[in-house]
A and B are shown apart, each in its own frame.
Chain A
Amino acid sequence: MDYILNLLSSLTQEALAPTTAAFALAAIGLNVHFGLTGLINMGQAAFLLLGAYGFAISITNGLPFVMAVLVALAVAIVFAVILGIPTLRLRGDYLAIVTISGAEIIRMVGRSSLLTDTTGGSNGIAGSAYRDPFNALSPLPDGTTTILWFSYSNNGVNGWWIRIAAWGLVALFTLVLFLLMRSPWGRVVKAIREDEDAVRSLGKNVYSYKMQALVFGGALGALAGVIYVLPSSVQPDAMGRSMTFFIWTALILGGAATVFGPVLGAILFFVVRLFVRTLAGDFIPDSIMNAQQAEQFSYVLVGVALMLLIVFRPQGLLGNKKELSFSV
């Protein structure tokens, strides 16, 4: 019984971790790209990485917190525009190839030894270098608060303040997504997803709408990047292709083109993996599967789950099959 309680408490803690919130936010951004507009962005991690770099480097150069967040957003927006100009006129899979390549370029340049003074090279930027201005904003008193079994320090590195801020942003943008989907803008981009030529024949500027969607989703990615690195550090190699694919898995698991799909998907992505890891670690002897292999096994399951989901339930857990037709 104790075992199950412990497991439940660690699973719920994982579900509410800031990293999960960052993934949820990134998946909301990807939902704007893919779920709403049908853009196949395979470089969402680059937006997170750019947001993280923009934020961290601004702070280390003495800019105030608000300015640093604005820099993070601006960098991501510029990147989205640069990626969008050549590819949004072409067929969908070109955007996929260009975004994945663009993301790799960002990562390679970021980890390059030439930029070690700015980006920290492959070692990245330590969290202590940029964390303080954010923690200074906290209205919470110092100390530790325990609610149910969630016990964190109020203003610590990985405490209540970052959790409140992160999930607050997730809630805010879930609401924004909800409103956007019902707005005239949302109806146009959904129509673009279904039939680009039909929308064009109605006199809408398809290219411009796609660009707006790419920029907006990318900006959400940058915010997610800031949240992702605040409790840890900026590690370019942790924010590569795998991360993009995991955000995709979260989105498709929860349901693309739905309001709560990205959030549910991100939570499940982390919770189920922790569940698999814990069970494998506790019940399978090390000689068969050690801790490291259990982690890798959980990712193998992620890959298999992604394959099965997209074939058998492309609309995800929350989606409506009629709403989403995958067509290039």
Chain B
Amino acid sequence: MRRFRRGAPGRNRLVLAAVLFLAFLATFAVDWAVSPSAQGATSTPSASSSPASTTAATGPCVVSPTNGCIRGTILDSERKPAAGVDVDVAGPAAFAQTATTDDTGRWSVSVTTAGQYTVSVDEGSLPKGQYLTNAADGDRKVNATLNANVGQIFQLSDQQGATTADTTSSVSPARAWQQFASGIRLGLLIALASVGLSLIYGTTGLSSFSHGEQVTLGGLLAYVFANQLGWNIWVSGIVVTLLCAATGYLQDAAIWRPLRRRRISLTQLMIVTIGLSIAAQYAFQYFFGASTVRIQQGNPETVTFAGLTLTVQSYVAMAIALVVLVGTGLFLAKTRFGRATRAVSDNPALAAASGIDVDRVIRFVWTLAAGLAGLSGVMLGLVLNGVNWQTGLQLLLLMFASVTLGGLGTAYGALVGSMIIGIVVELTNLVLPGDFKYATALVILILILLFRPQGIFGRAERIG
């Protein structure tokens, strides 16, 4: 790094500014290229996500001075009407009535007494693969008055993790086993992303806050290729992984290496990654809207194996993740370039002195990290059956927790940390509502910093 000190920083400033900006655009150039198709498909859901849909409801219930209506529309996660959903309404004077949504997703109940009613959605009657976004909707209090409409909106999601439904129910061994398997699945996918994060930290000392967006980018690009353009999912996966790796390469060439040359401090670099993360998040929303998009249409098939019911995609994703992780591990341990990477991780100055091209190693690490994160995003999108602009954002803190748990900068530590975090996150669902599942991982993170800040595999000297 030291030999790049030629050229006054002031003179190159404008050029560098232009390069930085272009690099940023280049990172999303892929989005631009495919935006017409993506935009056309997603602008409708994002525009119709306003609650206006309920006000237009014209159910069989008509208000009059002697009665009021509780009504609403239930749309599924793709904003299509959900028909045949039972909505129970209970209220004063033993009032109890069940309304069922019609083909347009509308339901209404006529009440003749003003007062507080309890509206609940029968979760058993929801379409297959749909869950309540907010588990509190299972039991919602509504104040109804005569001669007036009360609109109620229930949001559905295609992710069961979003709901707290029956999460507080009994802890059975079968359920624990199922959650454990989901935990391994999540752990493997986190590991794919966090190995890269850890390598970046190890070789450059940078905690990259934009790594989550690399995961999202993978998922969203997979949506573009597999769903919008209708490519085969395997081909899409490979193309997306390569494209994501290319964004890592371009990022290093256009942003990180020039900044390293300028000897920007790590704090500044970290804030640059935050800026990149903000820009990327809103660029995703700009092109894809705020709603969740699905990589594959249709309900995924499930396979039951050894008492586990998981989708086919989950099994395949776990296998791929395992193979790729083992491959990465072997690469780091056995090949010449892998050893050079670990040498740079250990001591960049010494590595440079012994003839290793540090910049080349770091360029490679960025490429590898972005590629792995993209692959993780593709599979995460398939496994969770949907991806949106904040998929990676939610994963980022789990990645930090994993990396810290394993020991900042150690690739194997990141793997072990990810497995532990993944399993803990999913097992939390057994005893606590789904809202808390990420919170537990973060509590673990804080406890680790309190008692063993260098992590499981880290060395104490790293904590400074």
Contact = CB atoms under 8 A, between A and B. Distances in A.
Interface in B358-410: 393, 397, 400-401, 404
A196 B278 CA distance: 31
B267 A327 contact: yes
Q: Give the secondary structure class of A's interface.
A: helix
Given A102-B446, A109-B439, A311-B268, A245 B463 contact: no
A327 B272 CA distance: 14
Interface in B249-293: 259, 262, 264-268, 270-272, 274-283, 285-286
A306 B266 contact: no
A303 B134 contact: no
B267 A92 contact: yes
Contacts of B275: 249, 303-308, 310
B333 interface: no
B286 A241 contact: no
Given A105-B439, A108-B438, A327 B445 contact: no
A13 interface: no
B442 A241 contact: no
A207 interface: no
Interface in A184-229: none
Given A111-B435, A112-B433, A98 B20 contact: no
B449 A296 contact: no
A144 interface: no
Contacts of B13: 312
Contacts of B312: none
Interface in B327-346: none
B439 A328 contact: no
Nearest to A112: B435
A114 interface: yes
Contacts of B43: 290
A81 interface: no
A245 B439 contact: no
Given A86-B450, A113-B433, A252-B271, A93 B279 contact: no
B443 interface: yes
Interface in A110-133: 111-114, 116, 121-122
Contacts of A111: 435
A87 interface: yes
A87 B20 CA distance: 33
B265 A326 contact: yes
A101 B446 contact: yes
Name the residue among B13, B259, B435 with the largest chain A CB count within 10 angstroms.
Answer: B435
B134 A121 contact: yes
B258 to A, nearest CB: 9
B436 interface: yes
Interface string A71-104: 0000000000000011100111110111011101
Given A112-B433, A114-B433, A299-B282, A86 B449 contact: yes
A314 interface: yes
Interface in B11-28: 13, 16-17, 20-21, 24
B266 A113 contact: no
B266 A104 contact: no
Nearest to A289: B286
B278 A326 contact: no
B207 interface: yes
Contacts of A112: 433, 435-436
B227 interface: no
Nearest to B450: A86
B134 A97 contact: no
Nearest to B168: A114
Given A303-B278, A304-B24, A94 B449 contact: yes
A101 B442 contact: yes
A113 B136 CA distance: 6
Nearest to B285: A296
Interface string B32-52: 000000000001001100000
B286 A300 contact: yes
Nearest to A93: B207
B397 A328 contact: no
Given A300-B279, A307-B24, A312 B442 contact: no
A326 B436 contact: no
Contacts of B271: 248, 252, 306-307, 310
A94 B134 contact: no
Contacts of B207: 93, 96-97
A293 interface: yes
Given A93-B270, A97-B404, A312-B13, A292 B282 contact: no
A169 to B, nearest CB: 27
B164 interface: yes
Interface in A19-35: none
Name the residue among B17, B265, B438, B442 with the largest chain A CB count within 10 angstroms.
Answer: B442
A108 B278 CA distance: 20
Interface string A269-310: 000000000000000000000101100110111111111101
B355 interface: no
A101 to B, nearest CB: 4
Interface of A: 40, 85-87, 90-94, 96-98, 100-102, 104-105, 108-109, 111-114, 116, 121-122, 241-242, 245, 248-249, 252, 290, 292-293, 296-297, 299-308, 310-312, 314, 325-328
Given A91-B463, A327-B265, 10 more contacts: A90-B463, A93-B266, A101-B400, A101-B401, A113-B136, A242-B281, A249-B278, A299-B279, A300-B283, A328-B266
20 contacts: A87-B449, A94-B404, A100-B400, A101-B397, A104-B397, A105-B442, A105-B443, A108-B435, A249-B275, A296-B282, A299-B278, A299-B281, A303-B275, A307-B271, A307-B272, A308-B21, A311-B16, A311-B272, A312-B17, A328-B265
Nearest 8 Cβ contacts at the A-B interface: A303-B279, A303-B278, A306-B275, A307-B275, A112-B435, A299-B282, A86-B450, A101-B442
